[in-house]
Amino acid sequence: MKTLIIIDVQNDFMPNGSLPVPLGDKIVPVINSINNKFDLIIATQDWHPLNHVSFATNHKDKSNFDVIELHGKPQTLWPNHCVEGTEGAEFHPDLNTKNFEAIFRKGTNTSIDSYSAFYDNGHLKSTGLTGYLKEKGITELYFCGLAADICVYFSILDAFNEGFNCTFIEDASKALDNVHLDKLKQEMVAKGIKIVNSESFL
């Protein structure tokens, strides 16, 4: 069963959002053009409480994009974004959601960040997505969304490590840092993760 996982296509990651991904809105029509090519579609949402540890506003004398140590690992401090129940946390209004089978929310724990659709950053808590997919007998996953070099990448990496065959749909994704993404793409290819464009589905 060919499965598409759409990562965090939310208002706060759009050009006018609180944590904009450059040209993030340009992927919406691309995703809409391919979402009828899959047997199953799963979407994720960042869904943070207002007092989330990753928000710079919750750290005295810290600024957006400062890096602190959290649970023994580096943690980037972000602008407040995708706060649960806010308009910024909603999907882009033009995203076609009618074929979504399920939505998995992440980053709900105040004390740890969660980039991946599968686990928090410390791998302390599963979102349940692995079990959901394996129960359905799914082996082949296609990923797109925002941001390509952060939440999409870490979702692909966790999925690969869980034994799924993974493909990254590059033109249905945008990165915060394209130079960094180029390095991550090299890593993905070296692992055997495929990279394609949407035209391969049309």
Domains, the chain, in order of start with CATH, read 2-201 (3.40.50.850)
- pLDDT surpassing 80 at residue 202: no
Residues 155 and 193: beta-carbon distance below 8 Å: no
Of 82, 144, 151, 166, catalytic:
151
The whole-chain average pLDDT of the chain stands at 96
128-185 pLDDT, tens digit each: 999 999 999 999 999 999 999 999 999 999 999 999 999 999 999 999 999 999 999 9
Cα–Cα distances (Å) from 110 to 103, 107, 120, 156, in that order, read 20, 7, 11, 24
Helix (H, G, I), strand (E, B) or coil at 126: strand
pLDDT at 38: 96
Confidence bin at 93 (pLDDT 50/70/90): very high
Specify whether 2 is catalytic.
no
Residues 121 and 113: beta-carbon distance below 8 Å: yes
Confidence bin at 196 (pLDDT 50/70/90): very high
- What single-letter amino acid sits at 149? D
Specify whether 106 is catalytic.
yes
Of 106, 144, 158, 166, catalytic:
106
Q: Which one, of 69, 88, 80, 195, lies nearest residue 142 by Cα?
A: 195
Specify whether 144 is catalytic.
no
pLDDT at 195: 98
Q: Which pTM value belongs to this model?
A: 0.97
